[in-house]
Every structure is written in structure tokens, then in C-alpha cells.
Structure 1
């Protein structure tokens, strides 16, 4: 049963060491993400599932304790999914028994792991799911239903950016369809509108480089019938990329 969800963007720039001189532009986004995690903790879940976009080689499930880093972005910052560095390592720096060894987290789940570490998350065990951008809506919805059907109280942390074509300097250059698309997503997330999320045009989302489309539709599948209320906590596009933070509870 899904009892709460938080939606956060996943740019590595959320990590201050990666952002370097651009830290101030994302201060509000980081604060909203922290507030969203607080809502998840308050729901007293039995487990937290983190869902985020992933490339072909990084799709699939990740256990608690899976590791990631931001070395590809020029900084030596390591994270563990749902396990703090101090708890996971012994005094000699070795990985403690019981912490699973797994492939490296994709960037979206690494950002989520960093957010959870900053929040000192201890409310429930954490696992991850990397979702491919091309995944059809029906399969996203089915994956969400399977997550929600697991025993106990489930919370979701859904990572994903909105369009990356909001301005001339955006990663995908300007597309006039980007702002209206993001506005529709913001309305759906802010009102916990499951039907609106399921109705998102996957092809349009791909053209607008909206990496959050598939994870949002996983959320739609998980939340169907849960009767959650939504609130939009943050909506910005400082680099021509839409960053949305919302909570469902």
C-alpha cells in the first residue's frame, strides 16, 4: 500500500561539490527536497523505494547499500543508498558485513542517495529502481502497481527532471512546447492527479528531454486507488531545465 510519495529533480548539481559556483541557484530546490523527505518520514513507511531514470545498462533493481559516486562530474563524493558511510564501513574502511555489493547507482539514484544522507534517513529500509526512459506508459503503470502491492506501508521517492528545453541556453535548446508541458506536469503533481500523469505523452516527453516522465508514471501506477493528496513545493527552471518538487500524502 502506498502511503506517501515525494517527487524531486535529479540533477547532479544538487550536490554542492558538483555545483561549485552555482550553489545559490539551487538552494531553494535543495530545501524543498529536504522538506519532501520530511513528509515521507512522517508517513512512517515500512519501506522506501527510490525510482529514477536510468540508461540501458543501469536499469533494474538496486538493493539498500548499493553505491554510487559523482566522480564522473569531477568530484570525489561517494554515496550509499539508504546506508550512511559511517554505518556501512568498518574502522579499517572495509564494507561491513551484510551490505550488498552491486553495480554502481545511476546518477538519478545517486542524487537520491545523497539527499537521503543529508536528511539522515532512518525511517525505513531503502531500495532503488532504475527505469528506462523509453519504457511504455503501460509498463510504467504496471511497475508502480507491483511496488504498491507489496506487503506493508510503502513510500516512494520519485526522481526526475521536467523538460530540458525551456530556454535558448537549455541543454536541448528552446522548444515552445516545453513550458506548457512542464506546467501540466506541475499541476498533476501538485494535485496528485493520477489520470493526468498516466496521460502524459511519452513521445513529447522524449522530444522535450523530460527524463522524469517514466518515473512519474510509475508513481501514477503505485498511487492508483490510494486517494493521496498532493502539494507542489517547488517549481523552477534556473538552467532551462524544469525542476519540480512535490509531495503526495
Structure 2
């Protein structure tokens, strides 16, 4: 086997050495290789309408949830948690329906990841209570003794900076997220209202982002809206922006039962 590989390798190596001595030929070979690679990457985009699932119920991140997502990125949480459930049976059994492309259509940047020091959290939303998340973020080992996660107790005391939210939503709209002018203009009020159900701004957040919008004291503390509120709000919406994955899984199960 090794002898056969050597016989195959040496002619290829010799040909490459000859090519390196001819600048024009080498340049043309590079252009050809880059063109083939580019075509392989670009071609799937022409079939995106057929390959990406339809999710008419897909909703946008609220300003509070988007702020929480930014905190999640800022603290490097994506380095230890993936958000991509693969089609393997053991992953589906553990985490739920495998991830679909449409579920990430408004994610900038994508946070699919591949490294799992901690579990995948693509469908974390609603799995645990707000109080559980707060306790886990404050002292992970008090909730999960074997956890190696750092503590984030400071988030409970850090006021959420909302002044930049209109600018952030505007930037997201430029890359395709359909935030309206009204959503952008009311971003600060909606972020505060979602985390303070008794405030005058709570109804506005629901009106703009839909009845499924979760409005409550995410950190359990009235008064100041904190970064803990935002991060917990984000964690609780993961996998909840659309139910298309559940519908597809249910349809597949029904089809198998009828077969």
C-alpha cells in the first residue's frame, strides 16, 4: 500500500515542481483552482429558495433579546456552547429536533459553533426557569456541581446600556433583518418595557413584536434593567423564534406511522 502511494505521489510532486518554475502557468493554475472553489461555494446560493425552509411564523429578536445576544457574544459564551443540533440520533434525543437553516436567518453573526465544553443550547428556551438561569449565571457550581463555567454575577448589578440599541437595529436592518422604522425608534423603550411588565412600555413591545413576546422580570428584581435581564431573555428565546422544526419533525413521524 505504501509503495503504491509513493508511486502515485512522486509524479504529482515532480509535476508540481515543474509548474512552480513557470510563473504564467502557476498563475493560471491558481486562477483555475480558485474559480472551481468559488463556484462550489457560490452555486448553492442559486437554490437557496428551495433549500431554506419556509417559516411564516418566524419573529425577530426584540431589542432586549438582541442586547442579550450581544452580551452572550461579548462574554465569549459561544466558545463553549454550540447552537447547532446535528441530525445524529443521539443529538436529537438529547437536545430536540435538529437545527434548520431558517432558524438562523436573522442571526448576525452566526453562532452555530462546534466546540461543546458545555451543552448545545439551540433549544434552551423554556427548558429552565428564569430563576434557574440567574442562579446558574451567578454561581454555576451551585446549580451544576461539575460545571467549569465562569461565574457572571456582575451581570445582575450591571445596568443595561440601551442608548445604542437603535443604532444596532439599524445595522442589522442593513444586512437584511426586517426591523421597521417604528421598531428602531422605540428600541430603548421596548427593551425596558419587556423587562418591566408593570411599566407603560410593556404593551408597546408586545404590539411591535407579537403576542409571543415574553414580558417579565427576567432577573427577578424590580427597578433597574440589568444585563442579567437581557442575557436571560436571550437564553429563554433560543429555539422559540419559530416552531417550524417541531412541525417538520411531527410531519415526519406521522409519515413513518402511516407507511
Q: TM-score, normalised by structure 1?
A: 0.29
**Which of the pair is proportionally richer in strand?**
1
Could you say which structure has the greater relative contact order, defined with CA pairs below 8 angstroms and 6 or more residues apart? 1
Q: Flag the structure with larger Rg.
A: 2
